[in-house]
Amino acid sequence: MKRITIDPITRLEGHGRIDIFLDDQGRVENACFQIPELRGFEQFCVGRMAEEMPVITNRICGVCPEAHHLAASKALDNVFGAEPTSVAKKLRELLYMAFFVTDHTTHFYALGGPDFIVGPDAPPAERNILGVARKVGLEVAGEVIACRRRNHEIITFLGGRSIHPVAGVPGGWSRAITAEERTQIEAAASKNIEFARFSLSIFEKIVLKNPVYREMITSDTYLHRTYSMGTVDASNQANFYDGMIRVIDPQGREFLKYHPSAYREHIAERVEAWTYLKYPYLKGVGWKGLVDGVGSGVYTATPLSRLNVSEGMATPLANAEYQRMYEAFGCKKVTAARYEPIHHRMATHWARLIELLYASERMLELALDPEITSPETRNIPNPDRFTGEGVGSVEAPRGTLTHHYTTDERGVLTMVNMIVGTTNNYAAISMSIKRAAERLITSNAPDESILNRIEMAFRLYDPCFSCATHFLPGKMPLTVRLRDYQGATLREMRRKA
């Protein structure tokens, strides 16, 4: 088997790498990330008090500490048998919406957007957030920074600390908000809604109205008919903080709906000989390799899959945009509110903007909730209800995040297991890289173009490997090597930082 390796030049980036495996005929056989995992996390946690987990796990990753903090807090609710108060759940969700707004905004303007707004074949020096600002208008730079700032301020006072929140406790939240803070949140949420609508209008104007980019989104280069996963509320509508896990099949039929605590009954992990990466898949379907279709247990947990499983969106503006997207793809309705799933993975960028609008609207709803300033933020755990085991799950921006702990009778951790957002999508990401590679590696396309098209394949998933792993080549120095059977280099492509 030949192997193409994309590995960065220095020791730093050498920690993340993409391998593309060719068969004897030079066809792409498999593709995958090679990402060594951070070691020793479970050992680091076992023996500590379970209550420490919300502040330990939020340090696993510098990108989404809020997601880990909430998943850990929810797992602890179950370990201690302490149901959070109504306002505690709302405060947690409020913090989470502010986080989603900053995270999705940053991804669109800094990572995903440049491919569309500046163009996939623009030089890398221009294909970044500055290039976006030059194209869209320089004031957008200020808008992005202002959006981050107003939401980071809210995350800081709601979470009790900047960057690494500390307010989540078993049974609730450690602080209430004042009337003044509520007013600030309301104002920020209203601005977020405007900014989300502005972002969708840019997407409409620059991407959807441009035939070349429209073709890029709707072409079958990144088309995979897989199962879709997402968290839904009691109305089967997407919710990022809480609910049941819903899985639909590639045609849009509900395949599974389960409580997050039952994840082990439905999700298994596949180990392949050619990589040490473990691929999660649906147990009830089975593993057939990196292939799509109703017979393959590969699923995705992304903004697009969350919309695919949702019966419309729970907020009005986001719901209108949701309908517009599915109708643009010609999807028929499968229920009163839901459409056939979209499998064109580039549409994930569009779905992310719809989620941005939803998170902004939901944030405003919560800010206007009459209960939101209630001081009843916590139910003190009752020792009689202590269970010693808990699963906590939220939708991280990049996929369903699950924490699972068990403790002894004193609350000392004996087991820690996690499935982080990106992990769910390992198989799907590999499939998209494979597809991009199939189209490109036998062509005479310039190196830069090949590197970027492969990067675009994983960038759309917004992967974050900081928590399970160390690093991912983004716009870093990259080397692609095409090697023959004996390992000799046939072609080398290199990009400097």
Partner 1 sequence: MTAGVVIIGMGNALLSDDGVGIAVAHAVAERLQHRTDLTVTELPAGGIRLMEAMAGYRRAVVVDAMLSGAAPGTVQRFDPRDFVTTKNTFSSHDTDFATAFDLGRLAGVPLPEQVSFWGVEAREFDLFGERFSDEVAAALPLAVNRIVAQIVEWEAAA
Enumerate binding residues for partner 1 (CB under 8 A).
10-12, 15, 36-41, 43-44, 56, 59-63, 65, 106-107, 110-111, 128-130, 133, 138, 141-142, 144-146, 148-149, 152, 163-164, 464-466, 470-476, 497
Please say whether the beta carbons of 394 and 263 come within 8 A. no
270 has which bridge partners? 279
Determine how β-strand 227-232 pairs with β-strand 299-300.
Answer: parallel
Q: Give least dist CB 415 to partner 1, A.
A: 16
> Of 35 and 290, which has the nearer Cβ to partner 1?
35
411 has which bridge partners? none
Of 6, 25, 16, 75, nearest to 388 (Cα)? 75
> Of 60 and 177, which has the nearer Cβ to partner 1?
60
- Exposure string for 215-239, b = 16+ CB within 10 A, e = fewer: ebbbeebbbbebbbbbbbeeebbbb
Q: Give least dist CB 61 to partner 1, A.
A: 8
Structure tokens at 354: 């719809």
Q: Give least dist CB 270 to partner 1, A.
A: 24
> Of 129 and 267, which has the nearer Cβ to partner 1?
129
Q: Give least dist CB 417 to partner 1, A.
A: 15
> Of 288 and 475, which has the nearer Cβ to partner 1?
475
**Orientation of helix 65-79 relative to helix 86-106, angle to 10°:** 160
Of 483, 463, 482, nearest to 474 (Cα)? 463
> Of 43 and 444, which has the nearer Cβ to partner 1?
43
> Of 364 and 472, which has the nearer Cβ to partner 1?
472
Q: Give least dist CB 67 to partner 1, A.
A: 13
Please say whether the beta carbons of 481 and 491 come within 8 A. yes
Q: Give least dist CB 474 to partner 1, A.
A: 4
Please say whether the beta carbons of 326 and 248 come within 8 A. no
> Of 82 and 98, which has the nearer Cβ to partner 1?
98
Structure tokens at 281: 């898949």
Reduced 3-state DSSP string for 434-458: HHHHHHHCCCCCCHHHHHHHHHHHH
325 has which bridge partners? none
Q: Give least dist CB 204 to partner 1, A.
A: 23
> Of 3 and 48, which has the nearer Cβ to partner 1?
48
Distance (Å, whole) CA 313 – CA 306: 10
Q: Give least dist CB 432 to partner 1, A.
A: 17
Using DSSP, state whether 396 is helix, strand or coil.
strand
> Of 238 and 467, which has the nearer Cβ to partner 1?
467
> Of 45 and 301, which has the nearer Cβ to partner 1?
45
Please say whether the beta carbons of 237 and 439 come within 8 A. no
Of 389, 391, 386, 388, nearest to 264 (Cα)? 391
Q: Give least dist CB 141 to partner 1, A.
A: 4
Q: Give least dist CB 244 to partner 1, A.
A: 29
Collect all residues with Cβ–Cβ distance below 8 Å to 137 and sequence separation of at least 6: none
Please say whether the beta carbons of 226 and 208 come within 8 A. no
H-type helices in 240-285, by residue range?
A: 263-266
